[in-house]
């Protein structure tokens, strides 16, 4: 787990450095807050069982891609894509996969932009690349996802259909809210540039 802790630390340092540079150049920081976590051993075991893999370190390394998780929360939709571009163009880690759940939300209504990266860490034996998942979303998307997670935890088996439907409806409201707030921000920027 030390390797994953080192990757988390390196990734956080890289993101903070990139954002400080961006803020200096643009007089604006697109990030509201950043959260990070290392997946707990019980969660890793549970995920391996769900995927029908034997409980081995090799399977953990090769089949669990989000042991290191970073969540970047920002104010506006435009910030999400700006951060994606900053991360992709930084050259500080290898991009393995991207999933845009904002343009293509999950069936549940979940929205976020996911990037799977390999983070280079240096050990006594040399360079090693550790996988990590970065999620980038707006405050509104984060609020919805947090509530969705609590509901899923409460109904360990099957979430009642009326709750699923209501959560999906709320996700549509959040999409609309994000677009309205972006429009408002663009209007404010036009007034400031006069």
> Taking all residues of the chain, what is their mean pLDDT, rounded to a whole number?
90
pLDDT tens-digit map of 21-65:
999 999 999 999 999 999 988 888 888 888 898 888 888 888 888
Q: How far, in Å, CA of 57 to CA of 33, rounded?
A: 32
Q: Collect all residues with Cβ–Cβ distance below 8 Å to 40 and sequence separation of at least 6.
A: none
Q: Which domain holds residue 56?
A: 2-192
**Angle, alpha carbons 110-115-116 (nearest 5°):** 120
Summarised one tens digit per residue, pLDDT across range 107-154 is 889 999 999 999 999 989 899 999 999 999 999 999 989 888 888 766
Query: Residue 160 is part of a domain; what is its CATH number?
Result: 3.30.460.10
Provide the token pair at 31. 């990030």
DSSP lists the bridge partners of residue 116 as 97, 133
Give me the pLDDT at residue 153, please. 67
The count of domains in the chain is 1
pTM of the model: 0.88
Measure the CA dihedral 124/90/24/100, to 10°: -120
Angle value at C-alpha 16, between 3 and 147, nearest 5 degrees: 80
């Amino acid at each position: 787990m030390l390797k994953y802790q080192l990757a988390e630390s390196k990734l956080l340092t890289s993101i903070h450095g990139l954002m400080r540079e961006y803020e200096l150049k643009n007089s604006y920081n697109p990030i509201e807050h950043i959260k990070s976590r290392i997946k707990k051993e019980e969660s890793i075991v549970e995920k391996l069982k769900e995927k029908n893999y034997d409980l081995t370190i090799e399977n953990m390394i090769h089949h669990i891609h989000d042991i290191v998780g970073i969540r970047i929360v920002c104010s506006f939709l435009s910030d999400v894509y700006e951060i994606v571009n900053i991360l992709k163009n930084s050259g500080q880690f290898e991009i393995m996969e991207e999933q845009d759940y904002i343009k293509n939300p999950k069936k549940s209504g979940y929205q976020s932009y996911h990037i799977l990266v390999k983070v280079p860490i240096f050990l006594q034996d040399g360079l090693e690349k550790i996988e990590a998942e970065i999620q980038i979303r707006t405050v509104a998307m984060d609020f919805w996802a947090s509530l969705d997670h609590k509901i899923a935890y409460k109904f360990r088996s099957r979430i009642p259909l009326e709750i699923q439907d209501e959560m999906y409806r709320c996700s549509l409201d959040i999409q609309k809210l994000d677009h309205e707030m972006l429009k408002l921000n663009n209007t404010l920027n036009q007034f400031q540039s006069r």
